[in-house]
Structure 1
Amino acid sequence: MKRPFRTLLCLAATAVGLVAVSAPANAAGANYVALGDSYSSGVGTGGPYSGGSCDRSASAYPQLWANSHSPSSFTFAACSGARTGDVLSGQVGSLNAGTTLVTISIGGNDAGFVDVITTCTLNDDQTCINRVNQGKAFVNNELPAKLDSVYAAIKQRSPSARVIVLGYPHFYKVPGNCILGLSDTKRSAINSGADALASVTSARAAAAGFTFVDIRTIWTNHEICSSDRWLNSLTWPVGESYHPTKDGQAKGYLVALNRVTG
């Protein structure tokens, strides 16, 4: 699919690991570049959006961080629907030797969870579980090399930059207060796929010497089927579905990023 994070049935595959224990980045005077997919571009906040099909929002965490920290320079390169290959072929061109801070969320679209959600929506519990397990196999066996390539390209172009890898929240609270929709069995299966992605992403980020931020932690009790969700369920326009709301960007992603940058 051309832009999997913008589709009606999109799982922005959940993941990410460890709210940094390393020293905060030097925010003052930073030359900041934001890379990644729609979770970084800000789809789901209701717009308005800029950057054409990249759908960059003024309510996205990179823009909010830049507004509050006044870096020396800020390049918003994140783009809706991006996969690892898109980062390599285009987004890394925004980096240079003077870049001092990079943020990125990537891997959800590569993992193919659009089809996972579609399968889980249209089929029974066991079919859903089987499809999630297929997705996990990709995450464990094929995604590591893709992430390594992205991280190596970032290091090559910006060897002095602090790189912060932000992941994805759990989609569902299980059990939750949703009356309609997927069963708890399906919700748990989807969340387990997100956990697999988090495990792999955190390991590859650590191997590259990058900081890995666990969005799942701060998102607890704000998933779909919670009483205070920061994630859209099925909504209109459909491209906003299964993406963070303005609260998800400001209270989730931005707060998590501030914890490691000061």
Structure 2
Amino acid sequence: MSVRTFWASVSTLALGAAAVLGLAQPASAAGDNYVALGDSYSSGVGAGSYTSESGDCKRSTKAYPYLWRDANAPASFKFVACSGATTTTVAGSQLSALSSSTTLVSITAGGNDVGFADVMQTCVLQSQATCVSRVNTAVSQVQNTLPGRLDSLYSSIRSRSPQAHVVVLGYPRFYKLSGSCIAGLTETERGAINNASDILNGVIAKRAADAGFTFSSVVDEFTGHELCSGDAWLHSVTLPITNSYHPKVAGQSGGYLPAFRSAA
């Protein structure tokens, strides 16, 4: 055996061993045709660096879909998530980005269907009793109205992209209870909002599972970085008001990106 043949054999064996041990490079995402759908948590509201073409949809180059694209260089990338989107508007204006060749989809949707922005505004501006009542109304919508809307949306996504791996991401738990905040909402209000977020995530997770999609929670990633934690990855009430309760750059890169990456 020549020296050249010997080392070629060694190289082949080494690559084979690496593959067996799981050390080889993972299958390249370069073959993926990725479409990012959803609302402001996917478009990147609060992270800044919005693309000029996105207008009021506020699609950010710091949002997790862009960050994933930059790290993985998929074959194609369509970013159509839009601030304010509901399950209905996602279905009506975003699903045209999907096709039978789409292999990867990400989505956040459901918060706007139950009036998330109005809930937070009510709690900031009105009494504790009014806040809790508004939260309870939203929870009722989550439990009674949202499941059917999610089923319809997920069915439409599957119909358009039957081979796609679909990752449904949830929403953060917003407050650290007994945290560092000494002003603002009461602990009762914060607890009610957190409970509503948990219920919302639970409904989304179940509907995603029933559709054959992968649900990825972001609660663990944001734990220790909620509002009142002292190291929040979320904007509190701020100007512009649209940024309030949305992830900062760190929330997209340290929260949503890892949650998506682990499930993609």
The TM-score, its normalising length taken from structure 1, stands at 0.87
Query: Could you say which residue in structure 2 is the equivalent of 1:87?
Result: 90
Counting only pairs closer than 5 Å after superposition, residues 1-262 of structure 1 correspond to structure 2 as 27-50=29-52, 51-261=54-264
Of 231-240 and 203-212, the range deviating more from structure 2: 231-240
Gaps of 5+ in 1: 1-23
Q: Distance in 1 between matches of 2:62 and 2:118?
A: 28
- Give CA-to-partner distance per residue, 1:76-97, whole Å, 9 cap, x none: 0101110111111110000000
Decide whether aligned partners of structure 1 residues 226 and 203 sit closer, same or farther in structure 2, where only a CA change above 3 A counts.
Answer: same
Higher gyration radius (CA): 2
| SS of alignment partner, residue 57 of structure 1 | coil
Q: Distance in 1 between matches of 2:151 and 2:92?
A: 15
Structure 1 runs of 4+ with >6 Å offset: none
Measured on the aligned residues, the alpha-carbon RMSD in Å equals: 1.4
Q: Distance in 2 between matches of 1:139 and 1:26?
A: 38
Q: Distance in 2 between matches of 1:64 and 1:40?
A: 11
Q: Distance in 2 between matches of 1:137 and 1:70?
A: 41
- Give CA-to-partner distance per residue, 1:25-71, whole Å, 9 cap, x none: 97331000000001100110122443111111100000000000000
Measured after TM superposition, the shift of residue 171 of structure 1 is 1.1
Q: Distance in 1 between matches of 2:240 and 2:126?
A: 24
Q: Distance in 2 between matches of 1:168 and 1:75?
A: 22
Amino acid at match of 2:33: N
Measured after TM superposition, the shift of residue 75 of structure 1 is 0.2
Amino acid at match of 2:221: I
Of 34-43 and 130-139, the range deviating more from structure 2: 130-139
| SS of alignment partner, residue 221 of structure 1 | coil
Amino acid at match of 1:130: S
Measured after TM superposition, the shift of residue 123 of structure 1 is 3.0
Kindly indicate whether the alpha-carbon contact (under 8 Å) linking 1:88 and 1:150 is maintained by their aligned counterparts in 2: yes
Amino acid at match of 2:224: N
Q: Distance in 2 between matches of 1:79 and 1:27?
A: 24
Q: Distance in 1 between matches of 2:263 and 2:198?
A: 22
Measured after TM superposition, the shift of residue 145 of structure 1 is 0.5
Q: Distance in 1 between matches of 2:209 and 2:28?
A: 20
Amino acid at match of 1:58: T
Gaps of 5+ in 2: 1-25
Q: Distance in 1 between matches of 2:50 and 2:98?
A: 26
Amino acid at match of 1:154: I
Q: Greater relative contact order: 1 or 2 (C-alpha under 8 angstroms, separation 6 or more)?
A: 1
The TM-score, its normalising length taken from structure 2, stands at 0.87
| SS of alignment partner, residue 197 of structure 2 | helix
User: What percentage of residue pairs aligned between the two structures are identical?
Assistant: 54
Kindly indicate whether the alpha-carbon contact (under 8 Å) linking 1:42 and 1:249 is maintained by their aligned counterparts in 2: yes
Q: Distance in 2 between matches of 1:75 and 1:245?
A: 22
